[in-house]
Every structure is written in structure tokens, then in C-alpha cells.
Amino acid sequence: MRILLLIVIASLLLALGMAIDSQSGLPPRQHPPLRQFDPQQHVIHAAGRVEGMTPEIELRTQVRGRVDKVWAEEGQQVAAGDVLLVLDDAQLRAAVALANAERRAAESRLLRLHNGAHDQERREAAALWEARQAELRQAELLWQRIEQLRAGEAVAPQRADDEWSRLQSLRAQVAAAEARFRLLESPPRPDDLQLLQAQLDAAQARWQQAQVQLDHTRLRAPARAQVLKVNVETGELCGPASPRPAVILADTTRLRVRAFVEEMDAPLVQLGMPAEFVADGLPGIKYTGRVTRLSPRMNPKRLSSDQPAERYDTKVREVELEIDDATGLVVGLRVDVAIGPNPLTSASPADPPPLAAHSLGTPAPPPVTAGQATQDLDSQNDGQRQPPPAATSQDF
């Protein structure tokens, strides 16, 4: 049994080796040729939308609060720094006032240390020092007499001890009065200055922080733009985590088209290529332009054309196109983009010439689409076919 198993395994290994040897003699696999781009025939189609010089800017307040006043209106042109809306700021105003009071108190303490004591305090200390010196001189004279009387035992020992203690006390009082006067006359210590300066800096920082928090209750325009949408009303709660932006802005001084070219055509787009746009909302009107910017990376597809054959699991390359005449276009309008030579025109000689760009005042016939061109070609082919001969009685 064991010998039979070894024979089967050897046979399998031999068959496997022969199969590998036979495959190694096959010619190398031929890869399909790379896709070639003919600039005279290829037209790139993509979905796009109209936008301003900047994409739509969604603004939200940096702090949460109740809307007190809405200044922005849809369609309004605003400049950088203009206030769009204001939140209720009563509590933050009180915080700013409190921080400002603490700042001024710290500043006053530092100024007082720089100025030193009042002149009245200096004169008081000087006068006290002189008074203690006068008492000391009187006590010293009295002690000299007592010492003379002690030599003749004419003074009691208790009286001599009392005067000696009083003399020592006056000397200490004179030293204390002098130290007090010197302290009022001396400049402030460096460590005291540093401590009060640090307290002032901390109070200044708290005041500035309160001012910043108060300014966050005002939503300002970051740049010159047009108000596209206002999503809040007076009395509503608004904050940085709101699901909808409070205000949407965009620079609409000049419109452009952002097209989303699918990955099969993405490497073929080049700067300066001509382009044409049509919109379902503006039938019979065609706009022209050119490619001005190419995205350096591919992104997930976000805009669709709702066509049945459209692929949604693909990536696209964003392409920005300049519009020659954007009359009638609005921000957010979806357009169909064709990039390439004579973009919206068929390459067949039998097709009509491309439509010329025109304004809204003089509309032209609608451009020929790929489906219409196919139907026209089928009609022409049907006209060229000869009908079969009519049946006669002899055929029966």
C-alpha cells in the first residue's frame, strides 16, 4: 500500500513538471496598446457646475448662542470684515468688563510700586525718626547723671536699672524709625517688580481672551463676496456644530465652471484646451471657454448627470474652466461640458457646423447631441436602402 501511494505521488509530480515546462515555452503575453489621444477627433465629456471665483464658503459661528440680529441678506455684496450676524453677547460683555477691571487693578499696583511712597509718608517717617533721636539724646544725658550719682551711691539701683532699660529701648526705636525712613526712600526691589508685572500680564491676557470670545459672537465675512444663502433667523440657536452653515458666501465677480472628468479621460485634459457648456435650464444656449486649472489628484465622484449609463464607482479629476461670457448663468447651475476641438460638434462631414457662442438675447438652435447624431445617421442609412420589389400574381 505504501509503495502504491509513492507511485501515485511521483506520477502527479511528473505531470505537474511537464505542465510547467510546456507553459514556459509559450510566447509572452501581449498587452493591449496604450490609448492614443488624437486632438483632432477626441472630445471629452464631463458633468460640471457653475461656481464663483472661489468655491462656496460655508460660515458658522465659533461659539454657540442665540441669534440676536441678522444683517446679511441673500444676494448682498459684502466686503471683508463686514458683520453678517450677531449672537446674544450680554454674558460675554460682562466677562470683558470684569477682566478689564482686574487688568486695571494690576496695572495700578505696578504703577504704585514704581512711584514709591507718598510724600506725606516720607515726611512722617522722617519726623518720627527725628523724634526718636531726640528722646534718645535726652535718655543718654539722664543716664550720664545717673552714672555719676551711682559712684557716690546717691541713686537707688532700681532707678538706675529702669533708666538703662529705657535707654536701650529708645536706641531700638531710633533704629526702627531710621529703617522705616530708608525703606520709603529706597527704589522697588526687582523681584517685586517682576511679580506685579507677571500679574499685570496675566490680567491683560484674560482681558484679551474675553474680548476674543466677545468678537466670536459676530460672524464676519472673510473676504469680498456675495451672500448666496442665509440659513438662520433671529432667535435661533447657532454654533460651530450646527448641521447647516449660518451663511454661505462666494466671490461671484466672475463665474467659472468646475468640471469632473472621469478617470478614463482625466490624463488627456490639458491646459488651454477649448470647451463648451450647455445647461438644461437654458435650452438652445451654448457657452464657450477654456481649461485654466487641473487638479493634481483624483477624487471620489460627487456630481452626477443622472444618466442611466453613468458610473458612480469611479474617481474624477476636477478641472476649472474659464467662461468667455457668463450672462444668464447662476452659481450652482449644473452644466454639461465638452472639452476638445469643436467640442459639441460631430466629426462627420455630414453634420452641421458648430454653433457659435451667443448671448441670451439671440438664442440659436439647440446643439446636436450624441443621441441625436446617431438618430440622424440611422435615418440617412434608411433613406439610402432600396425597398424590395412589390409582389405580383406570378410569384404566387
**Residues 160-182 pLDDT 10s:** 888 899 889 999 999 999 998 88
Grid cell digits, residue 229: 444663502
Under a CB-based contact definition with an 8 Å cutoff, are residues 48 and 320 in contact?
no
Q: What pLDDT does 161 receive?
A: 85
Reduce the DSSP state of residue 41 to 3 states and report it.
coil
Mean pLDDT over each residue of the chain, to the nearest integer = 81
pLDDT band at 21 (very low <50, low <70, confident <90, very high): low
Q: Does domain 44-52+254-369 have CATH number 2.40.30.170?
A: yes
Asked if 245 and 231 touch (Cβ cutoff 8 Å), the reply is yes
Q: Residue 40: pLDDT band by 50, 70, 90 thresholds?
A: low
- What is the pLDDT at residue 363? 40
Percent of the chain beyond pLDDT 70? 78
**What's the whole-number mean pLDDT along residues 247-268?**
93
| pTM of the model as a whole | 0.59
The three cell numbers locating residue 205: 491676557
Question: Does residue 73 register a pLDDT over 50?
Answer: yes
Give the model's pLDDT for residue 168: 92
Query: Distance (Å, rounded) from C-alpha 284 to C-alpha 366?
Result: 4
DSSP class of 348: S
Q: Which of 341, 364, 381 lies closest to 38, judged by CA?
A: 341
pLDDT bin (cut points 50, 70, 90) of residue 221 is very high
- Three-point CA angle 351, 356, 358, nearest 5°: 145
Residue in the block written with cell 506725606 = 120
Question: Given this model, what pLDDT does residue 229 score?
Answer: 95
Domain ranges of the chain: 44-52+254-369, 57-78+217-249, 96-211
Residue 38: predicted pLDDT: 56
pLDDT of residue 371 exceeding 60, the answer is no
Given this model, what pLDDT does residue 30 score?
57
Distance CA(257)–CA(271), nearest Å, equals 14
Q: Helix or strand or coil: residue 34?
A: coil
Q: What is the DSSP letter of 262?
A: E
For the cut 50, the answer to whether the pLDDT of residue 382 exceeds it is no
State residue 131's pLDDT score. Answer: 92
Cα 185 from Cα 125, distance rounded (Å)? 10
Cell numbers given for 372: 441625436
User: Is there a contact between 323 and 256 (Cβ–Cβ < 8 Å)?
Assistant: yes
CA atoms within 13 A on the CB side of 147: 8
| pLDDT confidence tier of residue 77, bands split at 50, 70 and 90 | very high
Structure confidence at residue 342 (pLDDT)? 58
**Residue 156, pLDDT score:** 84
> What would the pLDDT profile of 177-209 be if each residue is shown by its tens digit?
999 888 888 888 999 999 999 999 999 999 999
CA 252/CA 84 separation, integer angstroms: 18
- Given the C-alpha cell 438652435, which residue does it identify? 365
Q: What is the mean pLDDT of residues 371-394?
A: 42
| Cα angle for residues 265, 268, 269 (degrees, 5° grid) | 95
pLDDT at 251: 94
28 compared with 196, residue with greater pLDDT? 196
Of 382 and 157, the one with more pLDDT: 157
- Closest by CA position to 195, among listed 121, 106, 104: 106
| Strand order from edge to edge, sheet including 218-220 | 218-220, 83-87, 65-70, 237-238
What would the mean pLDDT of 128-133 be, rounded to a whole number?
92
**Residue 209: which of 90, 99, 86 has the closest Cα?**
99
In order, the DSSP letters of 171-238 are HHHHHHHHHHHHHHHSPPPHHHHHHHHHHHHHHHHHHHHHHHHHHTTEEE-SSSEEEEEE---TT-EE
Buried/exposed 333-359: b ≥16 CB within 10 Å, e otherwise:
bebbbbbbebbbbbeeeeeeebbebbe
The pLDDT value given to residue 11: 79
Q: Predicted confidence band at 27 (pLDDT cuts at 50, 70, 90)? A: low
More confident residue, 314 or 57: 57
Residue-wise pLDDT tens digits, 300-312: 887 766 666 666 6
C-alpha 383: how far from its chain's center? 63
Cα separation, 333 vs 49, in Å, equals 5
**377 compared with 155, residue with greater pLDDT:** 155
The per-residue DSSP string of 120-187 comes to HHHHHHHHHHHHHHHHHHHHHHHHHHHHHHHHTT-S-HHHHHHHHHHHHHHHHHHHHHHHHHHHHHSP
- Tell me the pLDDT tens digit for each residue of 232-246: 999 999 999 999 999
Query: Rounded to whole angstroms, how far apart are CA atoms 346 and 376?
Result: 12
Q: Write a three-state SS string for 162-177.
A: HHHHHHHHHHHHHHHH
